[in-house]
Amino acid sequence: MTPQDRARKSADTMWKNDKASQWLGLQIKAVDEGTATLSMTVEPHHCNGHGICHGGFIFTLADSAFAFACNSRNAVTVAQHNTISFVAPGKCGDTLTATAREVSLRGRSGLYDVTVSTESGETIAEFRGASRTIQGQLFTEEE
């Protein structure tokens, strides 16, 4: 199995049970070893009292991209901690894209950066996630 095939199968397996991401309207656009790109269109129910996308939804989009990137090797991996910096508002009707990339992977610990941007390329947020691999696989690999 190629690394890309493993990443795709890992994402497909996770997606089946990821009711939160599905419910929020997230979509997987691309996945590969150590990377993932997810998107969402900001709907009225994603907006806060200021009429802009609620930061929690932007965080969730980034966190989900992070999750698919760090689980791309078919090893069950969870978040240790995450931080986000919001640099511009997401507006109703915007399609936001979160692009996650692996910065470092040492043993069971990983570090990932995620940029959330609009369809015009404007950066909305920068997210950094630290991961920890735990026991188990997402699917059984045949030898």
Report CA Rg, the chain. 15
Contact 111, 130 (CB under 8 A): yes
Give the C-alpha separation, 127 to 51, whole Å: 22
**pLDDT surpasses 70 at 143:** no
**DSSP character for 124?**
E
> Rounded to 10 degrees, what is the CA torsion of 7, 28, 70, 94?
160
- Band of pLDDT at residue 142, cut at 50, 70 and 90: confident
Contact 103, 113 (CB under 8 A): yes
Task: Convert the pLDDT of each residue in 27-70 to its tens digit.
Answer: 999 999 999 999 999 999 999 999 999 999 999 999 999 999 99
pTM, to two decimals: 0.94
- Band of pLDDT at residue 15, cut at 50, 70 and 90: very high
Domain definitions of the chain by residue range: 3-133
Look at domain 3-133 and name its CATH class: alpha beta
